Amino acid sequence: MTIDFLTNAFGFNFGVLNIVFIILFVVLAPLVGGILAGIDRKLSARMQGRFGPPILQPFFDVFKLMEKEGITVNKYQDFYMGAFLFFIILTGVFFFAGGDLLLVIFSLTLASMFLIVSAFSANSPYAEIGASRELLQMMAYEPMVLLTAVGFYIVIGTFNVADVLAAGKPAIIYLPGVFIGFVFILTLKFRKSPFDLSMSHHAHQELVKGMATEFSGKTLALMEISHWYENVFLLGFVYLFIACTSWVSIIIALLVCIFVYFFETFIDNSFARMRWEVAINSSWIVALILGFGNIFVLYFLKLFGII
């Protein structure tokens, strides 16, 4: 694994490497996330027959929002949004430091709750409906996220990210159904059609911007930066399925992350938005058949010593 190589080559101990990975995530994640968002916009425009904005447009937008006058509905809104950003960063820190997957998932859920409370605090009908739909989306994707962590535990015997990456074989060999199920719910987490129910990044639905309707200026900028951090972290989960001790697997894992992100962009531009009932039903069916089914088979294979 990368950690073993760096330790042997440069004499770093594991604690120092943890700090290095944390700093890299905190500094580079918003840059990578912003560039991915810019490429997403450009590809979406080309798929729709438009030229599209420059790739760096997301950064221009955030800088412009930062310069605007701070106007918020109430004093709690900014606090909740700041907490959302903090816990999103903390989630990524836990993950990229090789921490416990359950702690990572709980931290991500807490971050999402702060975002929802921030939207509810605006007392806007658009924001409140968007926040309600976000809660429904959480009900849709949380089972699959938890099954993903359980799948890693059954394969590796631990919830630690570092141990998963230190395995001799990629986890996807044993968890193909879980991987497909996780990619499915990424459409919800990335807020892309057909499941951009609570907040559309293109503002083309009946809710306008949903939860973000009453956000402006620095508050809206913090939301955008938080989503950049979140998207990079979620792609890190995809990376976890592919990477192992082989350098070849690391390269393949990075390529798979890129492919998955732009596959979601393709899906976003190929389907109309569906109702929230479809999101919940389809996500639970996928979690049951692909996620639980994969884990069920894997459990019996291990029980009889086949793997």
User: Between the CA atoms of 283, 285, 286 and 289, what dihedral angle is there, to the nearest 10 degrees?
Assistant: 160
**Where along the chain do its domains lie?**
2-303
Q: How far is CA 214 from CA 70, 96, 131, 192, in A?
A: 12, 33, 12, 20
Contact between residue 26 and residue 93 where contact means Cβ atoms under 8 Å apart: yes
d(CA 84, CA 111): 5
Give bridge partners of residue 160 from the DSSP assignment: 100
Run means of pLDDT, 10 residues per run, the chain, 307 residues:
43 62 92 93 88 90 86 81 93 91 93 91 83 90 94 91 89 94 93 80 57 83 92 94 91 95 90 84 94 91 77
d(CA 212, CA 233): 21
Looking at residue 8, its pLDDT comes to 42
Tokens 């793997």 sit on residue: 307
Looking at residue 196, its pLDDT comes to 81
Looking at residue 256, its pLDDT comes to 96
Other beta carbons within 10 Å of 277: 10
Looking at residue 9, its pLDDT comes to 38
Looking at residue 294, its pLDDT comes to 94
d(CA 255, CA 258): 5
Looking at residue 14, its pLDDT comes to 47
Sign of the alpha-carbon torsion through 279, 284, 285, 287: positive
Q: How far is CA 99 from CA 83, 164, 218, in A?
A: 21, 10, 31
d(CA 230, CA 30): 9
d(CA 264, CA 154): 28
Provide the token pair at 39: 């490429």
Looking at residue 208, its pLDDT comes to 61
Looking at residue 233, its pLDDT comes to 93
d(CA 80, CA 174): 39
Tokens 């497909």 sit on residue: 180
Provide the token pair at 128: 């409140």
Provide the token pair at 37: 């968002």
Helix (H) or strand (E) holding 232: helix 217-242
pTM of this prediction? 0.88
Contact between residue 144 and residue 181 where contact means Cβ atoms under 8 Å apart: yes
Contact between residue 219 and residue 208 where contact means Cβ atoms under 8 Å apart: no
